[in-house]
Amino acid sequence: MKTPEVSHKLFYIYINIYILDLGFRLPFLEYVIVHLKMNVIIFGYRGYGKSEGTPNEQGVLIDGAAVAKYVFESKEIENYVDREQVFLFGRSLGGAVAARVALDMTLPFKGVIIENTFTTLGDLVDVMFPFLRYFRKYLLRTKFETIDIIGKIKRPILFCRSEKDELIPKAQMDTLYNQATGALFKTYYAIHEGSHNDGFRTDVIGYANAIEKFINECNNYYSNNKELKIEQNEDKKEDKDFSCTNENSSNNEKSKVD
């Protein structure tokens, strides 16, 4: 989606697409366009919304990596995007996907925004379904272990947390923030009245200001550290999942998280 005003900044969104379609996310897309004056690209993972396939961890990560490459390589959008002003955003499960994609330093995202994301899917299951705590290792194949990779991300990171999030405990977002030791710099914004999906509605001005401040800080950081290139090709990808092109992973259990 392109903003009505000329803007070459791009907000690349990983966010869950519900069983119906992308329309459920239109209020947030409108918010980004109106309040942040940024173009938006969003997609539905396999098995979500009207996308074909079966949702599984490996497949979702492949999808995320594929669209990321499209953002930086496609000629279809090159006239609408300043590829040095692309920001990666992920909420909930999308934050886990965004964190994994952010490891690929051949993709020159200017910064990463992670909102209301769990440390691992197992940790979240323990909170939501405590009676499964002693059995989940036998039942849960999908892991999304963000806690294990967050410290390897070598980009600026903004963590946004809704204080009234009904799904993700505060402690899990705090842990991700504290473990993000590899970030070029990191910052934390608390949405005081926001729930899991509607922080941007309850804190319209403050939320936009926090993101705009982060974008400005990213630009200033790179301006003051010109020896640092956003694209660091010498850094190898940390996760081999991105090299897999098999559409049908052996792990086919459904793992939808709101």
Known catalytic residues?
A: 92, 165, 196
How large is the angle between the packed helices 204-224 and 26-36, nearest 10 degrees? 60
**With the C-alpha atoms ordered 38, 43, 45, 49, is the resulting torsion angle positive or negative?**
positive
DSSP 8-state symbol, 160: E
The Cα 224–Cα 98 span in angstroms is 26
Specify whether the CB–CB gap between 64 and 14 falls below 8 A. Answer: yes
- Single out the residue of 160, 174, 165, 169 nearest to residue 197, CA to CA: 165
Specify whether the CB–CB gap between 113 and 218 falls below 8 A. Answer: no
Ramachandran category for residue 240: left, alpha or beta (phi over 0 → left; psi -120 to 50 → alpha): alpha
Q: Which residue has the tokens 């300043």?
A: 82
**DSSP strands (E only) in the chain:** 10-14, 39-42, 86-91, 111-115, 157-162, 186-191
Other CB atoms within a 10 A radius of the CB of residue 1 amount to 13
Radius of gyration of the chain measured on its C-alpha atoms: 17
